[in-house]
């Protein structure tokens, strides 16, 4: 039996790994306070509200 391979137009796993690697590189030497500020800044830029907030 032969396996049929489809060409992917979008690879979610690859994208997730690239994003994770970028964030890791940006935050690797940050203190806890710097990391909190980084997260707050990114949340404000994206206009996403943290869970539990309306």
Task: Kindly report, residue by residue over 2-51, the tens digit of the pLDDT.
Answer: 888 878 788 999 999 999 999 999 999 999 999 999 998 988 898 777 67
DSSP, residue by residue, the chain: -PPPPPPPS--HHHHHHHHHHHHHHHHTT--HHHHHHHHHHHHHHHTPPPTT--
Instruction: Indicate the pTM of the whole model.
Output: 0.63
Provide the 8-state DSSP code for 29. Answer: T
Q: Which residue has the higher pLDDT, 29 or 52?
A: 29
Q: What does the chain come to in residues?
A: 54
CA distance 54 to 17: 30
């Amino acid at each position: 039996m032969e396996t049929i391979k489809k060409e992917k137009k979008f690879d979610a796993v690859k994208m997730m790994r690239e994003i994770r690697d970028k964030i890791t590189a940006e935050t690797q030497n940050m203190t806890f306070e710097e990391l909190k500020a980084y997260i707050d800044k990114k949340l404000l830029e994206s206009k996403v509200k943290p869970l539990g907030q309306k």
